[in-house]
Amino acid sequence: MPGKRLLANAENIQRAAEILKQGGLVAFPTETVYGLGADGLSETAIQSVFDAKGRPAYNPLIEHVASMELARELLILNPEQEELFWELGKRYWPGPLTLVAHKAPQVPTLATGGLDKVAVRVPAHPVALELLRLVGGPVVAPSANRSQRPSSTMADHVLLTLADYIDAVLDAGPCEFGLESTVLDITQTPPRILRLGALKLSEYSFDLSEGSQGSPGRTDKHYAPLIPVIRIVETAELKQANANTALLVYSEGLFSSRLTERLPNDPEGYARGLFAALYRLEALKPQALWIEAPPQTPDWGSIWDRLKRAA
């Protein structure tokens, strides 16, 4: 459906904003991954996001806004949370941090999966910011992929899984980070990371505990390319792969199979290319995918999280 791809110029961003205001679905680029946008205050529009993604109703969405002030309006905060909110917002927004706190009454519980807390974020991509500014209010935007599939880091992959379900995708080329935002619940003491993501842990000066229980979508299968068998294997084991096994590697000069994708051997470069590589390998229809195990160091933590849940 080439007609749904809109080059992200001023005129088309305006057009996309109009579609959103009328209750339509528009995928748009953020600095992390493409988002599947809908009017964040309209129950009908929000419902169509769940339908388009095939996403279970209990898995909440992130409300995206153009400014910290607009994000603040969606929350109810006690004094400690208020202080933390502004501190984190000033430091990291616009950027790949999502904050979870108690929701204000105007936030539909449909968006929060029935929870009394809402996730909010000010994305850093200029196209996303301009779109949000033109819409004026919050825009819910899960990653723009069918449920359980890898997130999309380019418009082609948005269209691959969602073309039949959306009104348009604003195409601004590949995303800068390639990995979703870090999700942080600021109602807990200390604030709790619900999802590792593009914002690096080492950047925090706060005492954070990491958990996987707090976020409803975290237990589900996710990020999975349509390949029957997916394994994470040690570098030495890669030699045993047969001709129909696709390889996702980062080590230099090891393999030259048609079914091999090599990603950069630094975590930022690897993250940027990961989801697109998974979609390209899937298109080759291999019987199996072996993923070379990345280093076991903290800076590869969010990548490990995605790989384990893909495999």
Rule CB under 6 A: which residues touch ligand TXA?
30, 32-33, 35, 59-62, 96, 98, 100, 112, 115, 117-119, 121, 123, 141-143, 180-181, 183, 194-195, 214-218
What minimum distance in Å lies between the beta carbon of 36 and ligand TXA?
8
Enclosing H/E stretch for 156? helix 155-162
Residue 230 CB coordination number (10 Å): 20
CA distance 131 to 12: 10
* Nearer Cβ to ligand TXA (96/267): 96
Structure tokens that stand for 179 in this block: 């990995």
Structure tokens that stand for 293 in this block: 């195990």
Phi and psi at residue 5, in whole multiples of 5°? -85, 120
Give the CB-nearest residue to Mg ion: 143
Which of the listed partners (ligand TXA, Mg ion, none) does 117 bind, with a CB threshold of 5 to 8 Å by partner kind?
A: ligand TXA
Residues sharing a CB contact under 8 Å with residue 109, sequence separation 6 or more, in sequence order:
103, 115
* Nearer Cβ to ligand TXA (183/289): 183
CA distance 125 to 253: 35
What minimum distance in Å lies between the beta carbon of 41 and ligand TXA?
16
Residue listed under structure tokens 């990603």:
263
Nearest CA-CA partner of 159 in 145, 140, 179:
145
* Nearer Cβ to Mg ion (61/77): 61
What minimum distance in Å lies between the beta carbon of 84 and ligand TXA?
16
* Nearer Cβ to Mg ion (143/245): 143
Give the Cα-Cα-Cα angle 36, 213, 205 (nearest 5 degrees): 85
Residue 179: DSSP 8-state: S
* Nearer Cβ to ligand TXA (217/286): 217
CA distance 158 to 152: 6
Residue 307: DSSP 8-state: H
Overall residue count recorded for the chain in this entry: 311
Which of the listed partners (ligand TXA, Mg ion, none) does 152 bind, with a CB threshold of 5 to 8 Å by partner kind?
A: none
What minimum distance in Å lies between the beta carbon of 37 and ligand TXA?
8
What minimum distance in Å lies between the beta carbon of 154 and ligand TXA?
13
Structure tokens that stand for 82 in this block: 């208020």
Which of the listed partners (ligand TXA, Mg ion, none) does 98 bind, with a CB threshold of 5 to 8 Å by partner kind?
A: ligand TXA
Enclosing H/E stretch for 15? helix 10-21
* Nearer Cβ to Mg ion (67/216): 216
What minimum distance in Å lies between the beta carbon of 256 and ligand TXA?
34
Which of the listed partners (ligand TXA, Mg ion, none) does 216 bind, with a CB threshold of 5 to 8 Å by partner kind?
A: ligand TXA
* Nearer Cβ to ligand TXA (84/194): 194
What minimum distance in Å lies between the beta carbon of 290 and ligand TXA?
26
What minimum distance in Å lies between the beta carbon of 97 and Mg ion?
16
Which of the listed partners (ligand TXA, Mg ion, none) does 33 bind, with a CB threshold of 5 to 8 Å by partner kind?
A: ligand TXA
Structure tokens that stand for 230 in this block: 């997916």
Question: In the complex, which residues of this chain contact Mg ion (CB under 5 A)?
Answer: 143
CA distance 45 to 49: 7
* Nearer Cβ to ligand TXA (30/48): 30
